[in-house]
Chain A
Amino acid sequence: MAEAVDLKAIGTRPIRPDGIDKVTGRAAFGADLNLPGMLYGKVLRSPHAHARIKSVDLSCALEADGVLAAISGADLPNESPSDLAKNVLARDKVLYHGHAVAAVAAKTLAQADAAIDLIDVEYEVLPPVLSIDEAIADGATLVNESQHTNGDTSKPASNVAATTMFERGDVDAGFAEADVIVESEHRVPTAHQGYIEPHACTATANEDGKSTVWCCTQGHFEVRSLTAQVLGEPVGNIKVIPSEIGGGFGGKTIIYLEPLAVKMSQISGRPVKMMMSREEVFRATGPTSATWCKVKVGAKNDGTITAATAWLAYEAGAFPGAPVGPGCMSVLAPYDLANFRIEGNDILVNKPKVCAYRAPGAPQSMHAMECAIDELARKLEMDPIDLRMKNAAGEGTQAPYGPTFPPVGLKECLEAARKHPNWTSPVPEGAGRGLAVGFWFNIGMQSSAEVRIAEDGMVTVMEGNPDIGGSRAGMALMAAETLGVPYEQIKAHVGDTEATGFCNVTGGSRTTFATGMAVIQACEDIIAQCKQRAALTWDLDEDQVDWVDGEAVPKPGVNADVKPLSLGDIARGAGRTGGPLLGRASLNAQGAGASFSVNLMDAKVDKETGKVDVLSFTAIQDAGRAIHPSYVEGQMQGGAAQGIGWALNEEYIYDAEGVMENAGFLDYRVPVASDLPMIDTEIIEVPNPSHPYGVRGVGETPIVAPLAAASNAVRDQLGFRIDDLPLSPPRVLEAIDAQG
Chain B
Amino acid sequence: MGAYAYLAPSNVSEALAALQREADAGNRTQMLAGGTDVLVQMRSVDRGERTFVDVKHVEEANHLDIGDDEIFIGAAIASAILFENEELKGILPGLLESSDLIGSTQIQGRATIGGNLCNSSPAGDTIPALIACGAICVIASPGGNREVAVEDFVTGVGTNVLSATEFLIGFRVPRPQGKSSSAYLRFIPRTEMDIAVAGAGVALTLDDSGTCTAAKVSIGAVAPTALVVPDAAAALVGSKVDDAALAAAADACSVAASPITDKRGTVEYRRKVVGVLCKRAAGIARDRAAAL
Contact = CB atoms under 8 A, between A and B. Distances in A.
Contact of B189 (A110, A661, A728): A728
B1 A110 contact: yes
Contacts of B273: 608-609, 729, 733
A47 interface: no
Contacts of A608: 272-273, 276
A662 interface: yes
A667 B264 contact: yes
Interface stretch (A437-445, A557-565, A669-677): A669-677
A647 to B, nearest CB: 13
B269 A734 contact: yes
A608 B193 CA distance: 22
B195 A675 contact: no
A649 B190 contact: yes
A653 B263 contact: yes
A734 B266 CA distance: 10
B99 to A, nearest CB: 18
A325 to B, nearest CB: 32
Interface residues of A, number: 22
A690 B269 CA distance: 54
B193 A672 contact: yes
Interface in A603-642: 608-611
Nearest to B280: A608
B269 A674 contact: no
Contacts of B269: 610, 729-730, 733-734
A666 interface: yes
B158 interface: no
B191 interface: yes
B142 interface: no
Contact of A662 (B1, B263, B268): B263
B194 interface: yes
Nearest to B193: A672
A224 to B, nearest CB: 34
Given A609-B273, A609-B276, A734-B269, A649 B189 contact: yes
Nearest to B277: A609
Interface string B226-261: 000000000000000000000000000000000000
A700 to B, nearest CB: 25
A675 B192 CA distance: 8
Nearest to A613: B191
Contacts of B190: 649, 669, 671-672, 674-675
A646 to B, nearest CB: 14
A283 B70 CA distance: 51
Nearest to A277: B44
Contact of B272 (A611, A667, A733): A733
Contacts of B265: 729-730
A608 to B, nearest CB: 4
B189 A674 contact: no
A669 B194 contact: yes
Interface in A449-473: none
B192 to A, nearest CB: 5
Chain B, interface size: which category? 20 to 34
A729 B265 CA distance: 9
A412 to B, nearest CB: 35
B83 interface: no
A71 to B, nearest CB: 25
B52 interface: no
Interface string B181-205: 0000001011111110100000000
Contacts of B264: 667
Contacts of B197: 729
A611 B1 CA distance: 40
Interface string A580-619: 0000000000000000000000000000111100000000
Nearest to B187: A609
Interface string A705-740: 000000000000000000000001110011000000
A675 B272 contact: no
A675 B263 CA distance: 20
Contacts of B192: 672, 674
A608 B262 CA distance: 20
Contacts of B193: 672
B141 to A, nearest CB: 35
Nearest to B261: A730
Nearest to B269: A730
Nearest to B275: A608
A730 B263 contact: no
Nearest to B104: A672
A674 B276 CA distance: 23
B222 to A, nearest CB: 14
Interface string A660-687: 0110001101011011000000000000
Contacts of A653: 263
A669 B197 CA distance: 13
Nearest to B47: A110
A666 B265 CA distance: 14
Nearest to B2: A110
Contacts of A662: 263
Contacts of B262: 661
A342 B190 CA distance: 36
Nearest to B266: A730
A734 B262 CA distance: 16
Contacts of A649: 189-190
B262 to A, nearest CB: 8
The winner among B189, B268, B269, B276 for most chain A CB atoms within 10 A is: B189
Interface in A125-172: none
Given A672-B192, A674-B192, A667 B263 contact: yes
A642 B228 CA distance: 40
B212 to A, nearest CB: 22
Contacts of A730: 265-266, 269
Interface in A545-584: none
Contact of A661 (B191, B195, B263): B263
Contacts of A728: 189
A675 B189 CA distance: 9
A667 B194 CA distance: 8
B116 to A, nearest CB: 16
B66 to A, nearest CB: 31
A729 B272 CA distance: 12
B41 to A, nearest CB: 13
A160 to B, nearest CB: 30
A669 B276 CA distance: 23
B189 A611 contact: yes
A729 B263 CA distance: 12
B191 A675 contact: yes
The winner among A653, A667, A728 for most chain B CB atoms within 10 A is: A667
Contacts of A666: 194-195
A274 to B, nearest CB: 18
B263 to A, nearest CB: 5
A671 B193 CA distance: 10
B276 to A, nearest CB: 4
A213 to B, nearest CB: 27
A649 B189 CA distance: 7
Contacts of A661: 262-263
A442 to B, nearest CB: 33
Contacts of A669: 189-190, 194
A260 B286 CA distance: 63
Nearest to B43: A277
A648 B276 CA distance: 21
Contacts of A675: 190-191
27 contacts: A110-B1, A608-B272, A608-B276, A609-B187, A609-B273, A610-B269, A611-B187, A648-B189, A653-B263, A661-B262, A662-B263, A666-B194, A667-B195, A671-B190, A672-B191, A672-B192, A672-B193, A675-B190, A675-B191, A728-B189, A729-B189, A729-B269, A729-B273, A730-B266, A730-B269, A733-B272, A734-B269
List the 3 closest A-B pairs by CB distance, nearest first.
A674-B191, A730-B269, A608-B276
Given A669-B194, A733-B273, 12 more contacts: A608-B272, A608-B276, A609-B276, A661-B262, A667-B263, A672-B191, A675-B191, A729-B273, A730-B269, A733-B269, A733-B272, A734-B268
